[in-house]
Amino acid sequence: MEWAATLNEYEKLVIRMNTPRVVIDNTVCATATLVKVDSGRKHGILLEAVQVLTDLNLCIKKAYISSDGQWFMDVFHVTDQDGNKLKDESVISYIEQSLETSNAPRSEEVKGLTALELTGTDRQGLLSEVSAVLADLQCAVVEATIWTHNGRIASLVHVKDENSGSEIKDLHKIDRIERRLRNVLKGDSDSCRARTAVSMAVTHTERRLHQMMLADRDYEEKLGSVAATEANVSVQDWSEKGYSVVNVRCEDRPKLLFDIVCTLTDMQYVIFHATIDTEGAQASQEFYIRHIDGSPIRLVAERQRLIQCLQAAIDRRASQGVKLELCTVDRRGLLAEVTRTFRENGLSVARAEVSTKGETAVNMFYVTDVAGHPVDPSTIEAVRQRIGLSSLKVKEPSMLHQKAPPAWDLNIFSLCSLVRRNLYYLGLIRSCS
């Protein structure tokens, strides 16, 4: 009986040790809210924590991550989108509950919808063609996210049957949808790499898009061209400690940390230590990683592939062109009509987020000209006139980055600076400057 009781207490101790403990502190730092997470280590737990914060559109200004043995600890300095500390008690409570249960939402899944995954070669007017096919097959687009990068496109589209108002259950219709969309994605030259699938998995939308583009090898340079990137990435060897050290220097933006951690996790690397810092508009991120089997990166070719994959993950979400917001009463074929207007006026959709809230369609489009350059303002106004000035609005006139990336020295990292930063993030140094 004593042995059984001891075993039961031990099991309780293990459960307590592996249950994440979350502390949210608004007193330590004058400019940000500290979110501290302690937990038993498992693969992907860092991604879950970052996902909770970024899904709330919070900005991670600084972070320290450490994972030694079986224990995981991280500290995030976060603000809202306006740069303020977190004051909303409902948001704070949601963060605590999500992280403490280690139950980060893995999907924006909407019940009663059919999820379509699409990948292929990007071209001008492709979204218009896809939308027209779905409208012709009586599929209403309820939600969709479209990314393009390096000549490739990936999209996760949630649709419902217009007749039943729910998910599509007719297997023959599903097969017909897949075949017609695959033909559109193939075009004249992509018979091998165009793919369509009906997804049954519950996966976070943006993580799934990263996975789809990674599998589609969008990180590879196209023949005769050099992929443009503002992300400066290096991978160094620290063999005496058994780590590979990844340094990323680029312009800061929302969800940057999520994109990097997501890619490292899906490529089966484990992050043992990391420091994230933002100075003005520039982000500096350093990760100490190993393979999931505990070994560092040893091959030069693998190191180069990791650099390319991280650069691609950062660039996929880079907002190019003019950001347009469509807000109007939803109706049958609306997306097909709007994207056809874009195509007829020589606009290409670089990225899009489509959503339906009740009877209202709220869509975001990032558009460029056919060559990927900024659009002439007169063209934008002509498009707005056709769609409706009150329905289609310019949110950000130009987000096409044309300045040269900053010069960073990626060849030096200091153990002393790592120790200093660790002391700061552990709270032993109080200054936030």
CB 384 within 8 A of CB 392: yes
Q: Which residues contact 380 (CB under 8 A, 6 or more apart)?
A: 322, 324, 394
Average pLDDT rounded to a whole number, residues 93-115: 73
Residues 124-139 pLDDT 10s: 999 999 999 999 999 9
Which has more confidence, 395 or 419?
395
pLDDT at 228: 60
pLDDT of 67 over the 80 cut: yes
* pLDDT of 71 over the 90 cut: no
User: 7 or 219: whose pLDDT is higher?
Assistant: 219
Count CB-CB contacts under 10 A for residue 154: 26
- How far CA 2 is from CA of 6, 7, 46, in Å, comes to 6, 9, 38
Residue 57 burial (CB < 10 Å; 0-12/13-18/19+)? exposed
Three-state SS at 425: helix
Q: What is the pLDDT of residue 22?
A: 93
pLDDT of residue 378: 95
Residues 6+ apart with CB under 8 A from 41: 67, 69, 70, 71, 72
Tell me which amino acid residue 176 is: R
Cβ atoms within 10 Å of 151's Cβ, excluding its own? 13
DSSP letter (8 states) at residue 404: P
Please write the tens of the pLDDT for every residue from 387-411.
Answer: 999 999 998 765 433 443 444 444 4
Q: What is the mean pLDDT of residues 83-97?
A: 94
- Tens digit of pLDDT for each residue in 164-201? 889 999 999 999 999 999 999 987 766 667 899 998 77
Domain boundaries, the chain: 1-105+236-310+403-433, 115-221+319-396
Average pLDDT over residues 252-263: 95
Give the domain 115-221+319-396 fold: Alpha-Beta Plaits (3.30.70)
DSSP 117: E
Q: Residue 221 contacts by C-beta under 8 Å, 6 or more apart in sequence?
A: 150, 227
Q: Is 153 helix (H, G, I), strand (E, B) or coil?
A: strand
Whether the predicted pLDDT of 19 surpasses 80: no
Provide the residue count of the chain. Answer: 433
Place of tokens 């990166």: 297
Mean pLDDT of 348-356: 95
Cα 143 vs. chain centroid, distance in angstroms? 16
The residue with greater pLDDT, 137 or 432, is: 137
CA 109, CA 116: separation in Å to the nearest integer? 12
Residue 202 pLDDT grade (very low, low, confident, very high; cuts 50, 70, 90): confident
Per-residue pLDDT, averaged over 410-417, amounts to 43
